[in-house]
Structure 1
Amino acid sequence: MLHTSDPRRKCTFSQESVPTEPALSVSSKYSTATAERRRFYQDVSISQGESGLYEINLDRRKLKTPGGKLFTVPNEALAVAVATEWDAQRDTLKFYTMHLTTLCNTALDNPTQRNKDQMINAALKFLETDTVCYRVDEPLALVELQKNEWDPVLEWIENRYNVTIGSSSSILGPEIPEATKDTFRQHLNSYNFWSLTGLEYVITQLKSVVLSLGMIDRHLSVQEAVLLSRLEEEYQIRRWGNVEWAHDYDMYELRARTAAGALFVHLSSESSSIKRKLLQD
């Protein structure tokens, strides 16, 4: 239950009990693919600190980042999402599934010590090698598939932002006009640092600025964006077959990471508070 009358708001989830401590710092290796740990807390809660930022508490111990900073998020909506991520863990904590927590830690610790301009420049580098801009010359069926599936997305984004991008079958890819880069630079600069962190994460998953913005702008669903980013691979699988479990696992993981990144972008831009019961039994 969220207590809106208290300036230090709190919302509680629950499981099993352990002794309390002032703060809790989880190992910096928890974002690796194999990191797991036995669940060591009963209750997950959020509270609003004096600064107005929201904190995550595990049995009343304040969560810290791998870098040792107090784990704080800018709004209530994101705090609830992260708390739900921790509460969803069962006997074993599967840190590699906690994408929102990882993105928050990245924004808070900023391990590469980059500023917004550096992040925007990195994102624009992907535009020069965008997945949907690189086309094949053969086989004809794949050429037509790329044209039919990717061209509408390119047309949408060119109209949406009044830019020219184009496509090419050359190994060098299309030559992106400077005016296009300037337009996207201005647009990306409108995002705050946290949202840029999430957007960059999505771009690295899809290898595409075009598909990422299409999804963030809600022109594409997560499933559509992921399938379009894997168009050639899916074509080859339909033609030659695949190792079913491996393909399904890769697809599931990519969807999960992409969806988490998109959610992080939207939640980190959220300014409103949630003033209703968060979970009902």
Structure 2
Amino acid sequence: MFRSLVRLQGALGNTLSLTTVCPRSQFVLKYSTATAERKKFYQDVSISQAENGLYEVNLDRRKLKTPGGKLFTVPNEALAIAVATEWDTQRDTLKFYTMHLTTLCNTALDNPTQRNKDQMINAALKFLETDTVCYRVDEPDGLVDLQKNEWDPVLHWIEKRYNVTIGSSSSILGPEIPEATKDTFRQHLNSYNFWSLTGLEYVITQLKSVVLSLGIIDRHLNVEQAVLLSRLEEEYQIRCWGNVEWAHDYDMYELRARAAAGTLFVHLTSESSTVKRKLMQD
């Protein structure tokens, strides 16, 4: 049923994380640890459209619920299928930490911290004041040149794209971001709906960068490029001194997974998208 969407998930490297568990008896997810696993308790996954136009995910035809006990509903068919794919591709053991889209939906539905859009935007803008690509080093020369060559083009792109001034600095205080720049980004972020803003904030917190996150969302960068740019100093150190076997690759792939899932979530929730019925067939 979800074969077509599996290809989409595969393109993200099986990237899709969840921090919840779901007892068979009531299908209400309970908060747990990020490494939680449970024995698979269902056979079939499907989606259905409710009378209000929202889409639901069903496990053995019983409705999925959020950790807060709300009915799990999403705004469009494409997102519903993507979430259902996360559940459908689980094997004997449910790896909730691989189900990022489900987690993001739960966050948007339950809003556990009870924040409004203004609070979310203010939190996101704080990363602009400490943006990864804005902090530069004075030495060694190799890293100085690498930051200039790799970060400056992205910084110039976003300044031109949004008609703002950001700049960079080697001071521990970072660059002084003009209020006009903050106002421009605040207005832009306010154009996103609550769901999309949830995904965008997630990407920003993963990359520690508003610049790189908007680069992905605006399709100026792909996920792999943005992750490498966010880890530029670490990659430089690894090149010089080597890395801990497996640890480096695992961290990088995890970051790619989260950034990819967050980006997909933004795109699926910021557009009125409907998947053709033929994708549901076979």
Normalised to the residue count of structure 1, the TM-score between the two structures is 0.90
Matched, 1:102 2:103: yes
Tell me, what secondary structure is at the counterpart of 1:244?
A: coil
Number of the residue aligned with 2:34: 33
The superposition leaves residues 153-180 of structure 1 with CA deviations (integer Å, 9 ceiling, x where unpaired) of: 0000000000000000000000000000
2-structure distance, mates of 1:80, 1:272: 12
The superposition leaves residues 177-219 of structure 1 with CA deviations (integer Å, 9 ceiling, x where unpaired) of: 0000000000000000000000000000000000000000000
Amino acid of the residue matched to residue 235 of structure 1? Answer: Y
Which of 1 and 2 has greater Rg?
A: 1
Number of the residue aligned with 1:6: none
1-structure distance, mates of 2:217, 2:274: 21
How far does residue 24 in structure 1 lie from its aligned partner after superposition?
A: 1.5
Number of the residue aligned with 1:173: 174
CA contact (8 A) 2:29 2:68 kept: no
Gaps of at least 5 residues in structure 2 are 3-23
Amino acid of the residue matched to residue 67 of structure 1? Answer: G
2-structure distance, mates of 1:280, 1:45: 12
Tell me, what secondary structure is at the counterpart of 1:64?
A: coil
Number of the residue aligned with 1:131: 132
Tell me, what secondary structure is at the counterpart of 2:196?
A: helix
Tell me, what secondary structure is at the counterpart of 1:224?
A: helix
The superposition leaves residues 210-241 of structure 1 with CA deviations (integer Å, 9 ceiling, x where unpaired) of: 00000000000000000000000000000000
Number of the residue aligned with 2:251: 250
Following TM superposition, the consecutive aligned residue runs of length 4 or more in structure 1 with deviations greater than 4 angstroms are none
CA contact (8 A) 1:25 1:68 kept: yes
Gaps of at least 5 residues in structure 1 are 3-19
Tell me, what secondary structure is at the counterpart of 1:25?
A: coil
The superposition leaves residues 100-154 of structure 1 with CA deviations (integer Å, 9 ceiling, x where unpaired) of: 0000000000000000000000000000000000000000000000000000000
Tell me, what secondary structure is at the counterpart of 2:27?
A: strand
Number of the residue aligned with 2:19: none
CA contact (8 A) 2:78 2:274 kept: yes
Number of the residue aligned with 1:85: 86
Please give the residue correspondences for 1:128-277 in structure 2 after superposition, counting only pairs within 5 Å. Answer: 128-277=129-278
CA contact (8 A) 1:46 1:55 kept: yes
Amino acid of the residue matched to residue 180 of structure 1? Answer: T
2-structure distance, mates of 1:257, 1:88: 18
Number of the residue aligned with 2:8: none
1-structure distance, mates of 2:280, 2:238: 41
How far does residue 280 in structure 1 lie from its aligned partner after superposition?
A: 5.9
Q: Which has a greater percent of helix? A: 2
Normalised to the residue count of structure 2, the TM-score between the two structures is 0.90
Amino acid of the residue matched to residue 118 of structure 1? Answer: Q
2-structure distance, mates of 1:217, 1:207: 17
Number of the residue aligned with 2:123: 122
Tell me, what secondary structure is at the counterpart of 2:48?
A: strand
CA contact (8 A) 1:167 1:173 kept: yes
2-structure distance, mates of 1:77, 1:45: 13
Matched, 1:45 2:46: yes
1-structure distance, mates of 2:77, 2:141: 51
CA contact (8 A) 1:77 1:270 kept: no
Amino acid of the residue matched to residue 192 of structure 1? Answer: N
Amino acid of the residue matched to residue 28 of structure 2? Answer: S
2-structure distance, mates of 1:69, 1:172: 43
1-structure distance, mates of 2:280, 2:252: 30
Q: Which has the higher contact order (CA 8 A, sep 6+)?
A: 2
Amino acid of the residue matched to residue 226 of structure 1? Answer: V
Tell me, what secondary structure is at the counterpart of 2:58?
A: strand
The superposition leaves residues 43-68 of structure 1 with CA deviations (integer Å, 9 ceiling, x where unpaired) of: 10000111111000000110000000
How far does residue 33 in structure 1 lie from its aligned partner after superposition?
A: 2.5
Tell me, what secondary structure is at the counterpart of 1:137?
A: coil
